[in-house]
Structures are given as C-alpha cells and as structure tokens.
Copies of this chain bind each other. A is one copy, B any other.
Amino acid sequence: MLFKVEMQVNIPSSLPKAQADDIKAKEKAYSQQLQRDGKWPHIWRVVGQYANVSIFDVADNQELHTILTALPLYPYMEITVQPLCEHPSSIHNQQ
C-alpha cells in the first residue's frame, strides 16, 4: 500500500555538531535498510531545501506510523502523509 510522505528537516542550531552528525548517520543507515527491504522504494531531495519527497510501500497505516516515528531525525521533522493508490492510466497497474 503506497503513501507519499514529505519530510522537512529543521535541526536546531543548539544541537552539537557531533550529535547531529551521529543522528544523520543513523538516519542514513535506517533509511537504506528500509529501502533494501522494499518498504521505502523512493526518496528524492527537494532542490534548495533540507527536505525530501518519499514513497512508502507498507502493509497498513500502523506500519507506516511505526516506521516514521522511529526515524532518528523524527524529532526534528515536519511530516505530511498522503495515501495513494493505482492510477487508471498507469502502465504498471496490476489489475
């Protein structure tokens, strides 16, 4: 089941750089594991912003919430979620 998720990152300047770097490294590892698992099939950077547009493919709403709130950068993010489904004009439809 697909969702578009947009994440805007706002790391406060008061966070020590070493700590911020550590969180970012964990975020990258966590994201890449989910990408390899097929849960997070797409992630793109928004030009000019510390933000991304992502597509998640999860079993249900609960799984998506669990994944998002476990993001190492979650406390510093604004997140919007939009449920998607098959577009009737898509050439990739399974039906």
Chain A positions within 8 Å of B, measured between CB atoms, are: 1-5, 12-13, 27-28, 31-32, 35-36, 42-50, 52-53, 55, 60-62, 64-65, 68-69, 75, 79-92
Q: Given the known A-B contacts A75-B13, A83-B81, are A88 and B28 also in contact in the complex, defined by CB atoms under 8 Å?
A: yes
Can you give 9 A-B contacts (C-beta < 8 A)? A4-B44, A44-B86, A45-B84, A47-B61, A47-B82, A48-B79, A52-B87, A53-B84, A60-B85
Q: Report the copy number of this chain in the oligomer.
A: 10
Residues of B within 8 A of A53 (CB): 4, 82, 84
Residues of B within 8 A of A52 (CB): 87
Residues of B within 8 A of A42 (CB): 42, 55
**CB <8 Å contact, A89 and B43:** yes
Further pairs besides A46-B82, A47-B83, A81-B83: 17, Cβ < 8 Å: A1-B60, A1-B61, A3-B61, A28-B89, A32-B89, A32-B91, A35-B92, A43-B89, A44-B86, A45-B86, A47-B68, A48-B65, A49-B79, A53-B82, A60-B60, A61-B83, A64-B83
